[in-house]
Amino acid sequence: MVKDHPILKPLDIDETLPHQVNAPSFKDTGIQMEAPFINEHGVIIGDSLYASQSSPLENWSEETDPAIMAGNEWVHPTNDIGWNSAENRELLEEKRKPQAFPFMHPTIDVSKGQD
């Protein structure tokens, strides 16, 4: 694999991954989006294409040991389907600073009598 492969460059829009429909936003969490990487087996991890000619999945046989695809080298830190789980989304929400609602006064109810 070539290190300057276009898929290895980070692609993000406002700290989200536009190619995952339900991907969470990492904006304001302090977590930086990371580019895809090539693992020790020559497989691109984190590109959301999930098919690589070097992947054991693409070259599966009865002799393939499934354990070859275990470990952190197969998981992308910011582009992994695990972020779509409720538990991991909650972890992201906990990292965000609370934001005030626009047009709110800290001690006066400015909406009183407006309905």
DSSP character for 109? -
Res 67: pLDDT: 92
Largest CA distance in the chain: 74
Say yes or no to pLDDT of 44 above 70.
Answer: yes
CB neighbour list of residue 51: distance below 8 Å, 6 or more residues apart: 57, 58
Give the mean model confidence (pLDDT) for residues 45-58. Answer: 82
Tens of pLDDT, residues 3-20: 555 555 555 566 665 556
DSSP helix/strand/coil, 13: strand
Range of the domain at 103: 1-115
Confidence band of 32 (pLDDT split at 50, 70, 90): confident
DSSP category for residue 45: E
Confidence of residue 1 (pLDDT cuts 50, 70, 90): very low
**Total domain count for the chain?**
1
Per-residue model confidence (pLDDT) at position 2: 45
pLDDT tens track for 61-96? 999 999 988 999 999 998 888 888 899 989 988 988
